[in-house]
Amino acid sequence: MKNVSVIGATGYSGGELLRYLARHLGVRVSHVTSEKSVGQKISSFHTDLLGKMDLVLVKNDPDKISKDSGLVFLCLPHAESAAWAKQYLDRGVKVIDLSADFRLKDPQSYEKWYKTEPPPSNLLAQAVYGLPEIYRHKIKRAKLVANPGCYSTVSILTALPLIKKGWAKKGAVVIDAKSGVSGAGRKIESRYLFCETHENFLAYSVTGHRHLPEIEQELKTQVTFVPHLLPVNRGILATVYAKLSKKISAKELHEVYAEFYKEETFVKVLDEGRFPELKSVQHTNFCHIGVGLDPQRETAILVGVIDNLGKGAAGQAVENMNLVFGFKEEMGLK
């Protein structure tokens, strides 16, 4: 049995993570932390945990928490995780960070997009980008894992086989993505109130979202990325449009995707002519992908869906933890 702790446990990602961990047979949650709600039970914030996990929230104290934690999950705001990650790493504790602090390998890019000083270069160098479908073997040996962003996860997985094959024209990839409201986190802002989101639909960060450099870093190509806010609680649907560099058939395109993901537990390519929907992946760690082709316009049309709190955050964090600890990758996730 491995001991883990969740730092910053009262938000949506922290709550989803605890739901997965509560049913995981290989770990025990030692501590849950909050700076503002010390002394309260975690089940008072995530009421579905009542009777399953009634831990009391404590302050984030690396000296105490490190004594009985082999790994910590950092569910903290961007620019706050790096300093805590160092303290836990210095005490021999492995770290899975759900913020963006270690996702971008270029310090200048981080500073540009997050408007703050980048993490120390030695930490950036040892951080492994936590997308198992690409970096599984590195994650198994990692002490610090940078859990990918939600938009980034679905966009990369949906576009990757086509990009790897070299069938997309350079600079001709467009990603049109829509996310549920929980993707914004558990915060109070007028644009996320029920009356503002219900029966509404909007694009935001149209000329540059923070996940764009992360997507381009992993796909190693330039893309146009536009996110939208869906009036639903959870889930992301991303449609990738890619101009093709050569003539191919719909059958060839589908075969490439089916072959690329045939050994993957959590990425499922649908049958030819079928496309995924949010309800199929909500509350799971799965990514479903549908593959289409517009031959007249020589354009691949690829549709991917994930749960932004599952494969887009907490589920993928547990998947990474399983790899780090040497558990079966699907443990606690099916």
Q: CA 80, 149, 1 angle in degrees (round to 5)?
A: 75
pLDDT of the residue at 197: 72
Q: Is the residue at 327 inside a domain?
A: no
Token code pair at residue 153: 């996860």
Domain that holds residue 18: 2-126
pLDDT in tens, 252-291: 999 999 999 999 999 999 999 999 999 999 999 999 999 9
Place of tokens 């749960």: 307
- What's the pLDDT band for 187 if we cut at 50, 70, 90? low
**235 pLDDT above the threshold of 80:** yes
Nearest residue to 71 (alpha-carbon basis) of 309, 327, 311: 327
Q: Do 155 and 304 share a domain, yes or no?
A: yes
- What's the pLDDT band for 192 if we cut at 50, 70, 90? low
Active site residues: 150
Q: Is the residue at 60 inside a domain?
A: yes
**53 pLDDT above the threshold of 80:** yes
Model's pTM, two decimal places?
Answer: 0.95
For residue 15, count other CB atoms closer than 10 A to its CB: 22
More confident residue, 189 or 174: 174
CATH code, domain carrying 212: 3.30.360.10
Q: From CA 208, how far away is CA 130, in angstroms rounded?
A: 23
**128 pLDDT above the threshold of 80:** yes
Alpha helices in the chain (DSSP H): 12-22, 62-65, 81-90, 107-114, 121-126, 132-140, 150-165, 194-197, 212-219, 250-260, 315-325
CATH code, domain carrying 42: 3.40.50.720
Q: How many domains does the chain have?
A: 2
For residue 37, count other CB atoms closer than 10 A to its CB: 17
Are the beta carbons of 184 and 126 closer than 8 angstroms? Answer: no
Q: Do 156 and 303 share a domain, yes or no?
A: yes
Q: Do 301 and 163 share a domain, yes or no?
A: yes
Q: Is the residue at 41 inside a domain?
A: yes
> What value does the mean pLDDT take over residues 307-321?
98
- Phi then psi for 273, rounded to 5 degrees? 90, -5
